Amino acid sequence: MINGSTQLIPHIGYPTEAFRAPMIYNPWFASKQINAIVVPMGVKPKDFASTLTSIFAMTNVRGALITMPHKVEAASLVDSLSVTASIAGACNAIARNPDGSLTGDQFDGIGFVRGLRRKGVELTGARALVAGCGGVGSAIAASLAAAGVDELHLFDLDQQTREHLSQRLRTHYPHLRVVAGSTDPDGFDLVCNATPLGMHDEDPLPFDVSRLAPSTFVGEVVMKREITPLLAAARSRGCRYQIGTDMLFEMIPAYLEFFGFPEATPEELRAVATLQY
């Protein structure tokens, strides 16, 4: 129940209709009797910078969730960025420090990696292939680097996008082997689809699944359906896999911790969320 003591987590993006966070965070806050809410706020690009200033001047704002199309601009507006957000060149969470300065972070990749760890996937020394070097792919690549993978192969249709990410990874992780990858998943411990392919029925598969070995773990970021065509192919070839919303439910505890809320588990969040698979 919202009252004058409710703390706000503005969820800033445009358009707002597809926002998922309110339906996960808010039932969890209610279940824990925490007087806080995630509030969707539709903000157009021209208004974003000034609105962010207004929002963080509010006395009852605890932090903000930033989504499309503002993640890249957000990274340029905060006072400091985590390594992951620096590599991704984007942030999707902002918190205000006690001195009033703003810190930006990015937990998509952490959510992906936490999900893998919970499934027993060994990342130290692993060879990984990430297809898609946009916001979420960059974040996943950064988190895989932080988790100790040995080789990171990156694929993107846009070579410049891939090269920018490669350079940022090499700067922060000089011992990591960063390689220009392909859609061939052969020989990897882990392959991850971080492209939008799989949202629509007519989409091509992001990898050549005929070359997918059963020992390769397959990660997916598409959340529109639980079993995307890629995951269906992976499953039929005997691969272990991770669905898109696993990343989502794994990352939310990291956001909650970033904003200073008590510890949450993905199981608790799934149990109360009105967004489900």
Decide: is 53 part of the binding site for a second copy (CB under 8 A).
yes
Which position among 9, 36, 39, 144 is part of the footprint of a second copy (CB under 8 A)? Answer: 39
Residue 238 burial by Cβ neighbours in a 10 Å radius (0-12, 13-18, 19+): exposed
The residues, any chain, with a CB within 8 Å of residue 85's CB and separated by 6 or more, are 75, 91, 104, 105, 106
Decide: is 35 part of the binding site for a second copy (CB under 8 A).
no
Which position among 31, 45, 60, 177 is part of the footprint of a second copy (CB under 8 A)? Answer: 60
Decide: is 1 part of the binding site for a second copy (CB under 8 A).
yes
Which helix (H) or strand (E) element contains residue 165? helix 159-172
Min dist. Cβ of residue 189 to a second copy (A): 37
Closest CB to a second copy among residues 3, 124: 3
Decide: is 187 part of the binding site for a second copy (CB under 8 A).
no
In whole angstroms, give the CA distance from residue 187 to residue 12.
40
Q: What angle, rounded to 10 degrees, do the helices at 108-118 and 135-146 form?
A: 50
Decide: is 47 part of the binding site for a second copy (CB under 8 A).
yes
Strand partners of residue 80: 103
Whether residue 32 lies in the annotated active site: no
Decide: is 73 part of the binding site for a second copy (CB under 8 A).
no
Min dist. Cβ of residue 51 to a second copy (A): 4
C-alpha dihedral sign at 193, 194, 195, 197 = positive
Decide: is 41 part of the binding site for a second copy (CB under 8 A).
yes
Catalytic site residue from 32, 46, 71, 224: 71
What SS3 class is residue 230? helix
- Catalytic site positions: 71
Instruction: Using CB under 8 A, list all residues that contact a second copy.
Output: 1-6, 8, 14-20, 22-23, 26-27, 37-44, 47, 50-51, 53-55, 57-60, 274
